[in-house]
Amino acid sequence: MNEPAFDAEALIEAMAPLLGLFVGEASRAPVKTHLEIAARYAALLEQTALGDHEEPAPVFTP
């Protein structure tokens, strides 16, 4: 299994045009910082074993 490698710069390059977002020069460093914080938090959650049958919290009621 490949270990995920998080590259915020590459994510910005790929996702900004896909989303139709412009990331100006002044925004680049803060957006990168926020992505890296998010990646750290996601990695923390990845370490938690949650079963396939764990229901996500929002449950739709028809």
Binding site for other proteins (CB under 8 A): 11-12, 15-16, 19-24, 26-27, 30-31, 34-35, 37-38, 40-42, 44-46, 48, 50, 54-58
Residue 9: strand, helix, or coil: helix
d(CA 3, CA 23): 28
Q: Minimum CB separation from other proteins for residue 2, in Å?
A: 15
Q: How far is the CB of 40 from other proteins (least distance, A)?
A: 8
Cα 52 from Cα 33, distance rounded (Å): 32
Q: How far is the CB of 17 from other proteins (least distance, A)?
A: 11
Q: What is the DSSP letter of 3?
A: P
